[in-house]
Amino acid sequence: MTEKESASRFFTPAVAVSAAVLVIIFAISVLAPIIAPYDPLETNLSATFEAPSGEHIFGTDQTGRDIFSRMLFGGRTTVLGAFGIVLFSMAVGIPMGLIAGYYGGLADRILMRITDIVISFPTLLLAFIFVGIFGRGLQNSVLAIGIVYVPMTARLTRSLTFAEKNKGYVEALKTAGCTNMRIMFLQILPNCLPTLSSQLTLDIGYAIIDLASMSFIGLGVKLPDCDWGAMLEESRNLIFTRPLSALAPGFAIAVTVIAINIFSDGVQRYIDPTKRKLKRSVLRHG
């Protein structure tokens, strides 16, 4: 397949739209302090439950806070928190997987038994346990969920490393006197990154859902700070009377996760159209 044909498989209209949506969401999240017309924590009890208007685009909530401003800052917390989760899982899981896959033997058995123990628990249940140990708060939630994501990243990296270490170029590098660390991190890892990037892109969508879930049950951000999950929890009793308060963060979560899934699928097709996208369920039972 030529480079042009591979690109045409990737740049489908759906992937292009999803990429544009993700760029907009990420830009808005980063620039929230500049774009937001109001302080998201500022209350005004004389302006509670105002309808959408030119002054308040999405109206106000039960304490008079501007919903649009809270949506922007909530997106900043949710999206950047999800990136933090995936970056943590990469920083810990990729070296674990490289070591286990490259050396095999005792190192592989020890590291994979650790991942088996973690994977045996439901994701959110284990995250609840870690939050109970570390305490509530955004940083602790990111750390807790990141720890849960490490085994999936490690197992994927391990399987890719197993496939790479038996190729001819690795033997040639050993013969040339290259160290194992150099071979693993400067030669094998770059060859694993395309597949890893597809799965880790998909993991950002999972992280958004998990982080929002933690906040929804009160274990994420501390009030009065907000993210999309906390906004959903605050407005769940108002769904029939003030639906926009709940629909806005719910819609934002759904659109962001769907866009990430579509974009990740396009990345996977670009890498290798014959491969099926790796699912978490496969990694859990791999």
Look at residue 77 and tell me whether its pLDDT is greater than 60: yes
Look at residue 283 and tell me whether its pLDDT is greater than 80: no
Instruction: Decide if 273 is inside a domain.
Output: yes
Please say whether the beta carbons of 203 and 121 come within 8 A. no
pLDDT at 281: 44
* Residue 162 belongs to domain spanning: 3-33+58-284
Instruction: Decide if 113 is inside a domain.
Output: yes
pLDDT at 128: 82
Instruction: Decide if 46 is inside a domain.
Output: no
pLDDT at 115: 83
pLDDT at 236: 82
Highest mean pLDDT among 8-22, 178-192, 262-276: 178-192
pLDDT at 4: 54
pLDDT at 279: 45
Q: Domain holding 241: CATH number?
A: 1.10.3720.10
Instruction: Decide if 238 is inside a domain.
Output: yes
| Residue, of 29 and 274, whose pLDDT is higher | 29
CA distance linking residue 152 with residue 191, whole number of Å: 18
CB proximity list for 250: less than 8 A, separation 6 or greater: 228, 232
CA distance linking residue 114 with residue 152, whole number of Å: 11
- Range 104-116 average pLDDT: 84
Highest mean pLDDT among 53-57, 111-115, 161-165: 161-165
pLDDT in tens, 136-158: 888 888 988 998 899 889 999 99
Phi, psi of 177 (to 5 degrees): 95, 15
Look at residue 92 and tell me whether its pLDDT is greater than 90: yes
Number of domains in the chain: 1
Look at residue 10 and tell me whether its pLDDT is greater than 80: no
CB proximity list for 228: less than 8 A, separation 6 or greater: 71, 74, 75, 78, 212, 215, 249, 250, 252, 253
Please say whether the beta carbons of 245 and 67 come within 8 A. yes
pLDDT band at 83; cut points 50, 70, 90? very high
Instruction: Decide if 47 is inside a domain.
Output: no
Please say whether the beta carbons of 74 and 41 come within 8 A. no
Instruction: Decide if 52 is inside a domain.
Output: no
